[in-house]
Structure 1
């Protein structure tokens, strides 16, 4: 099995949003590694799920993939995407008391930031994506909206430009709100986000340490995405009681890039177990197709 960094180009966004070339439940095609799956997918306990071979545009699994639901901290993928289009990586953002209070008051995960610290945008992207810091999300939105209201407007404008017709953001962190998206839209966003080399690097980083300086404390941020241990390239976890356990992930198997989204999963471990089962299944499908294509029986 070969594992490498192969990110689907932006031109595949249209295919992903349109539904790809075939459903996993459709009749098998001519065989080979890019065909419709020939065996049934494993059981998926997530309420909504979507898995697509972004290399071919072939849907491997679709379960309520266009239903609008809350997506928790998967929201932060769009926050990172918007920041990358607004900010220089070496620009410095000062953390305020409001940033810290926002995370505490919302009961959200935080990156341990303190008022008065000054951190670069690059560092705050790690604080945003790895420990899923709502404090980092608030600080970035305040700076690059400027203000949360304008920043959320930028998020929704970006969603529209990407063709995410079933997505609406209400905040930059995914705390309970009237925001929503779909598994299919989040797969398309994952493809667009990981086409950005900075986001791609951040998303696949297991841990980020920054040393103490005169303007900020020492920080260690660990990635909540344990699928990285299985060779995944990212992307993001999320959880609220309203949304359940969520996961968007990208992985390369046998030269094919697979993009998956699980929403409303029943538990933390379950989302990763389901993702692993799906990746094992598609790898088996690819191996079987290659064997058949080579005339080996």
Structure 2
């Protein structure tokens, strides 16, 4: 389950994309943190046609503040979601009662063995290093580290064994999905490595993203293009780059999460803010070549309705 990395410039299918510095991207995103994003949205997709040429099998686009559906395709069809799963992983961590984001977590060899076994995306955590829960959230969401996901689930799950703790954590992910009304979402992993029943819909994924962005820590993490995090017990610094190529390239991009897998295809849940409006979208089952052009085209479509692309 390898994910994209790097940055880009130029244009996507007529959608303007600009290379910007990390500082400018952070400034553009700051205003979004004051917005409390609701969970519910309009249920029926609108009749007007959306942008042409979108290749994703499933898509959904929402004006977050108004709760108005802007466009969708197979919005309620279940599909595998790959590492966009990690949005819920982060939500469960951040919503754990009494969570201490400064709690130190020791990296176990089991976490490294896990990513090696599955050929999974990794934060390249080193055995014996201690990192805080907050640092692991960056390792989870920027390089999409399945080792960071394992460490968080093992640390914040309940039970006497690693297997028991991770199972309980996944159960909490499913319980939170139900409480948020994500009726067509089911998790069977803490990181998106599917065991046959790790599925969501574009509509559910957008609902989750809107909820998650209401948490200031989550919003700060996912809008970060790059971070350097030093282990708290040894002289080692981790440098992690965000896999979301919209950041710093599409004006007003706020982040969220990438994902890719053999059965899932290429996936992206994304958000951007312009002219006082926040738009959230999701693409499931897209192609590698079209994922970011499709996201940019959808955002241009959304902002072009009132403010111009």
TM-score band by shorter chain is 0.7 to 0.9
| Contact persistence 1:176–1:242 (CA under 8 A) | no
Query: Are residue 52 (structure 1) and residue 72 (structure 2) matched?
Result: no
The match for 1:164 is 182
The match for 2:246 is 227
The match for 2:94 is 84
Alpha-carbon shift at residue 284 of structure 1 (Å): 1.9
Query: Are residue 243 (structure 1) and residue 253 (structure 2) matched?
Result: no
Alpha-carbon shift at residue 218 of structure 1 (Å): 1.2
Following superposition of structure 1 onto structure 2, how do residues 9-48 of structure 1 map, counting pairs within 5 Å? 9-10=36-37, 12-15=38-41, 18-19=43-44, 23=46, 25-26=47-48, 40-48=50-58
**Count of aligned positions:** 269
Q: Which moved more, 1:200-209 or 1:170-179?
A: 170-179
Alpha-carbon shift at residue 212 of structure 1 (Å): 5.3
Cα deviation digits, residues 100-128 of structure 1 (max 9, x gap): 11111111100010111110001000000
The match for 2:233 is 214
| Contact persistence 1:52–1:58 (CA under 8 A) | yes
Relative to the length of structure 2, the TM-score reads: 0.83
**Structure 2 unmatched runs, 5+:** 1-26, 159-164
More helix, by proportion: 1
Bigger Rg, structure 1 or 2: 1
3-state SS of paired residue (1:104): helix
Cα deviation digits, residues 61-88 of structure 1 (max 9, x gap): 1100100111000000000000012221
CA–CA separation in structure 2 for the residues paired with 1:3 and 1:100? 36
From the superposition, tell whether residues 67 and 218 of structure 1 become closer, same or farther in structure 2 (CA, over 3 Å).
same
Alpha-carbon shift at residue 14 of structure 1 (Å): 1.6
| Contact persistence 1:118–1:216 (CA under 8 A) | no
CA-based RMSD of the aligned residues comes to: 1.8
Relative to the length of structure 1, the TM-score reads: 0.86
**Structure 1 unmatched runs, 5+:** 27-38, 289-297
